[in-house]
Amino acid sequence: MSGNILVADSDPNIVEIVTESLRSEGYHTESASDGQEAMSKFREFDPDLVILDTVLPVIGGLQVCENIRVEPGKREIPIIIMSGGLNGSSVAEGFRHGASDVIKKPFSIEEITARANNFLTRAGEEKKQRMEGGEKDFEYFQREFKRKVLNLRTLFDLSQDFNRLKDPDELVHILCLTLIGQLGIGSVAIFRLQKNDYNLLEYAGGMGIETNILQTVNFSKESGLIKYLSKFDNFIDLANRGIPGAGRREAHFLVKLGLKYCFPLIIKENLIGIILVGEKINCREYSDNDIEMFRLLCHSAANALENARLYTELQDTYLSTIRVLVSTIEAKDPYTSGHTDRVAGYSSKLARRMGMSKKEIETIEFGAALHDIGKLGVYENILNKSSALTEKEWIMVKSHPEIGANIIRDMSFLKHASDLVRHHHERLDGSGYPDGLKGDEISLGAKIIAVADSFDAMTSNRPYRKPLTYPEAIEQLRMQSNKFDAEIVETFAEIIESRVKVT
C-alpha cells in the first residue's frame, strides 16, 4: 500500500505502535504529540490520512479535526478519531467536528490498519475518478474553447464584411443570409429607423416570411413594443407575458406571423432597429451558444447599420450641396433651366430599361446629375454667348467634362460617376472630347448620358435656333449612328414614344 499518514497522540507508545504497524503495510508516516504540532506537520507532510486522539495538548483533537476541514484544498481528507471514553454521544461529537470515522481505544493493530487501508483505497479511487473527470472536463473545455474561437473568427470575418458594406439595403440582405446560414434560423425580419422620421421603424428586409404584411407596418419608437424593447440588450421572447398593454398586442401580431424572438439593435442607448426571428430550421430550441452568437452578430450588425446610415446621410448632404452648385449654373442661363434634372431622369430610365444593376443605376444617376458641374469653371459670358465662339472660347467650353470629373473624383462614392462626367461628350467615332475615345472605349454609362444630354439639348430652346420636336430629335439621334449607340437610341425611343402616347 502507499500513502502518507499523520498520527497524533499524546501517548508516545500509542504513536510508536500505530506508526510501526502502518509502516509495515507500506505507508509513510509522521507523528505529532500535541494539536499544534499536528497542525504544522499536517501542512508540511501533506498526508492522505490523519489519525488523531481526541485528547491532545495545546489544541484538542476535535479542534484539530475542525481546523483541517477548513484548510484550503483539504476538506475531503479522511480523518480517524481515536477516543478513550467512547460512548454514543462522543462518537456523534467526533463526526460533528468533521471526523470520517471514530475508533474506540483500546483497539487492535489489525483494526486500525484495516480502517487505514479502507480509507486510503477509497481515497485513491476517488482521486483517480476525479482525475479522469478532470480529463473529461479538460476535453470539454478544449472543445468549448475551440468552438468559441471558431465563433469569434467567423464573427470577426462577418463584422468585417458588414462594415465593408455601405449600402443599407445590401447590408440588410447579407445580415438575413448570415442569420439563416450561421444559426440555421427559418425566418428573419429586420426593421430599422425610417430615413425621414427617426421615431418610426419600418420594414427593411427579411427572409422566410410573408413580407407583404410587414411592408405595411410601422412601429413607433415612443410606445408599445419598441419602447419596451429599447430597455433590453438581449434576446427577447415575444410570447413573454411581461410585455405590457399595446406592446403585447404588437408582439402577438408578430408571433402570429411566425416571428417569435426579437433582438433590439441599440447604439449609444438609442434603438436604431430590431431583428425578429422565428424558429430554428431544425425546430430545436435556441441554445445558449446560438443566443451568444446571435447577440454578437446583432451588436456587429447594429454598428454596421448605423455606419451605413451615416454614410448615406453624408452622401445625401454632398449630393445636395453639389446639386445646389449645378442649379447656380442653370440659374445664370434661362435656356438651360431644368437641363440637369431632365438628363438625370432620362438616364435613370434608360439604365433601368436596359437591365443594369442597382449599383450601376445609382452611378449613372450621380453621373447624370453632375455631368455639367465642370461649367462652374467656365466663364459665364462664354456659356451664354449667342454668337459663334472663338477657338479659344470653344477650348474652354470643351474643358468642362474634365474640370467636372476633377471636382468630384476625390469623393470616394463619386469615383465611378466621375468617369461618366469626364466622358459624356465622347462619341463612338472618336470625334468627341476630352479624350477622343471610340466605340467600346466609352463606358455604357457615358454613352447613356450622351444620348440623354444630346436629346435634351436638341429639344430645348436656344437663342440661335428653335427646339426640335421629340420625334425629330429621336430621328436626329438615329441618323447619327456613328456617334450614338444604336441600342441605347432605340431603347430611348421606346421610352419617349410611350411617354408621348400617354401624354
Binding residues (CB under 5 A) for Fe ion: these are 372, 453
Closest contact distance (angstroms) between CB of 430 and Fe ion is 18
Sheet holding 28-32, edge to edge: 28-32, 4-8, 49-53, 79-83, 101-104
Closest contact distance (angstroms) between CB of 375 and Fe ion is 7
Closest contact distance (angstroms) between CB of 411 and Fe ion is 19
Q: Closer to Fe ion by CB, 280 or 398: give it.
A: 398
Q: Closer to Fe ion by CB, 157 or 333: give it.
A: 333
Q: Closer to Fe ion by CB, 192 or 424: give it.
A: 424
Closest contact distance (angstroms) between CB of 397 and Fe ion is 9
User: How many whole angstroms separate alpha carbon 234 and alpha carbon 298?
Assistant: 10
Q: Closer to Fe ion by CB, 19 or 348: give it.
A: 348
Grid cell listed for 128: 483517480
Angle between helices 61-69 and 35-45 in degrees, nearest 10: 30
Q: Closer to Fe ion by CB, 53 or 372: give it.
A: 372
Q: Closer to Fe ion by CB, 201 or 407: give it.
A: 407
User: How many whole angstroms separate alpha carbon 467 and alpha carbon 336?
Assistant: 12
Closest contact distance (angstroms) between CB of 147 and Fe ion is 60
Give, as one character, the DSSP assignment of residue 10: S
User: How many whole angstroms separate alpha carbon 351 and alpha carbon 370?
Assistant: 16
Q: How many other CB atoms are there within 10 angstroms of residue 310's CB atom?
A: 10
Closest contact distance (angstroms) between CB of 174 and Fe ion is 37
Q: Closer to Fe ion by CB, 340 or 363: give it.
A: 340
Closest contact distance (angstroms) between CB of 457 and Fe ion is 7
Q: Closer to Fe ion by CB, 274 or 383: give it.
A: 383
Q: Closer to Fe ion by CB, 9 or 372: give it.
A: 372
Q: How deeply is 295 buried, as exposed, middle or buried, from its count of CB atoms within 10 A (0-12, 13-18, 19+)?
A: middle
Grid cell listed for 92: 456523534
> Contact 445/363 with Cβ under 8 angstroms?
yes
Helix (H, G, I), strand (E, B) or coil at 301: helix
Q: Closer to Fe ion by CB, 25 or 341: give it.
A: 341
Q: Closer to Fe ion by CB, 48 or 372: give it.
A: 372
User: How many whole angstroms separate alpha carbon 220 and alpha carbon 222?
Assistant: 5
Closest contact distance (angstroms) between CB of 258 and Fe ion is 52
Closest contact distance (angstroms) between CB of 444 and Fe ion is 18
Provide the strand spans (E) within 101-231.
Answer: 101-104, 188-193, 200-207, 218-220
Q: Closer to Fe ion by CB, 243 or 343: give it.
A: 343
> Contact 65/23 with Cβ under 8 angstroms?
no
Sheet holding 188-193, edge to edge: 218-220, 200-207, 188-193, 270-277, 261-267, 236-237
Cis peptide upstream of residue 106 (ω within 30 degrees of 0): yes
Q: Write b or e for each residue in 462-490: b if 16 or more Cβ atoms lie within 10 A of its Cβ, otherwise e.
A: eeeeeebebeebbebbeeeeebbbeebbe
Closest contact distance (angstroms) between CB of 153 and Fe ion is 51
> Contact 35/58 with Cβ under 8 angstroms?
yes
- Chain-centre distance of CA 285, in angstroms? 22
Residue in 442, 480, 448, 451 with CA at minimum distance from that of residue 354 = 448
Closest contact distance (angstroms) between CB of 425 and Fe ion is 6
Q: How deeply is 290 buried, as exposed, middle or buried, from its count of CB atoms within 10 A (0-12, 13-18, 19+)?
A: middle
Provide the strand spans (E) within 317-436.
Answer: none
Closest contact distance (angstroms) between CB of 339 and Fe ion is 6
